[in-house]
Amino acid sequence: MTRQSISFTKPNDEWLKSQVDSNEYASKSELVNDLIRQARNQQAQINWIKAKLETAENNGFTNESKEEILAQSKSLLNG
């Protein structure tokens, strides 16, 4: 694992400390890594939705129902 040095604004640092103090996370590093994982998962979902939209726009339609697309989207979000 690589080490990084980052700076936080006071409100963000206070929020990080509160999360650690409430035993939600063992350390700020663990929390920041979790936030990054969540952001990466969200980006993967956004990319998937964009690809579906581009395919639909290029083809004029999709064979999948709204419910199927929504279920697949939720599945990606929940990992």
Integer Cα distance of 29 and 21 in angstroms: 13
What confidence tens digit (pLDDT) does each residue in 27-52 have? 999 999 999 999 999 999 999 988 98
Confidence of residue 79 (pLDDT cuts 50, 70, 90): low
Calculate the average pLDDT of the chain. 89
Residue 68's pLDDT is: 86
Residue 66's pLDDT is: 78
Q: What is the DSSP letter of 66?
A: H
CA dist 40 → 11, 34, 37, 62 (Å): 23, 10, 5, 26
